[in-house]
């Protein structure tokens, strides 16, 4: 009986020493895009910038000291890839030398985990500014999403990644469906 108790105590001790994740892996999924939105072969250049002060996409402020996790891939490359895929599905040709430029700036992309009282609070914020320039005409728009989730246990990384994935997917979808963006890109 004593051996069983000792074995259980060791398991609990080692379970508490489990390795914490050191990097996030965001992977927003955009839905199917309607084909043929852009008729004649048109092109656009897609450029992304990350204006955040830190590369972290998740910060556990409840940890002592606070733990920050960066993303496996740079967020601007990830967003650029998803926008490019969506535009191509819609019939657009993506070309870095195009006179039409779609530029986005990542102002905020972060989930903060705090524990102000008994519950853990995960606050996710995504803020992206988009500008489209076509032969001297510029259109700028901001896209913001926020979400807050509470839990009794420390939230696992996949749940925190899902907060940002859904925000990014929603923003990318809004950009791809935005009529003002489509109109300016199509203008000749």
**CA 85, 91, 97, 101 torsion-angle sign:** negative
Mean pLDDT score, 35-56: 91
The pLDDT of residue 42? 86
Q: Is the pLDDT of residue 37 over 90?
A: no
Three-state secondary-structure class, residue 57: strand
pLDDT digits (tens, 9 = 90+) for 99-144: 999 999 999 999 999 999 899 999 999 999 999 999 899 999 999 9
Please give the domain boundaries of the chain with CATH numbers for all domains.
Answer: 30-186 (3.40.50.10610)
Mean pLDDT score, 170-188: 92
How remote is the C-alpha of 71 from its chain's centroid? 9
Which residues lie closer than 8 Å to 115 by C-beta, 6 or more apart? 62, 121, 154
More confident residue, 70 or 10: 70
């Amino acid at each position: 009986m004593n051996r069983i108790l000792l074995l259980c105590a060791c398991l609990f001790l080692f379970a508490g020493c489990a390795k914490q994740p050191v990097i996030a892996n965001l992977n927003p999924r955009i839905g199917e895009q309607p084909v043929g939105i852009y008729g004649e072969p048109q092109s656009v250049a897609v450029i992304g910038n990350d204006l955040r002060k830190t590369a972290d996409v998740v910060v556990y402020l409840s940890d002592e000291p606070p733990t920050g996790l960066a993303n496996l891939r740079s967020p601007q490359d990830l967003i650029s890839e998803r926008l490019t895929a969506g535009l191509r599905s819609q019939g657009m040709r993506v070309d870095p030398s195009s006179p039409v430029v779609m530029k986005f700036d990542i102002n905020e992309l972060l989930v903060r985990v705090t524990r102000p009282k008994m519950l853990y609070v995960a606050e996710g914020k995504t803020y992206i500014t988009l500008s489209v320039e076509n032969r001297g005409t510029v259109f700028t728009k901001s896209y913001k999403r926020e979400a807050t989730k509470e839990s009794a246990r420390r939230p696992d990384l996949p749940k925190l990644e899902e907060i940002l994935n859904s925000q990014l997917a929603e923003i990318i979808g809004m950009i791809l469906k935005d009529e003002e963006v489509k109109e300016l890109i199509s203008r000749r």
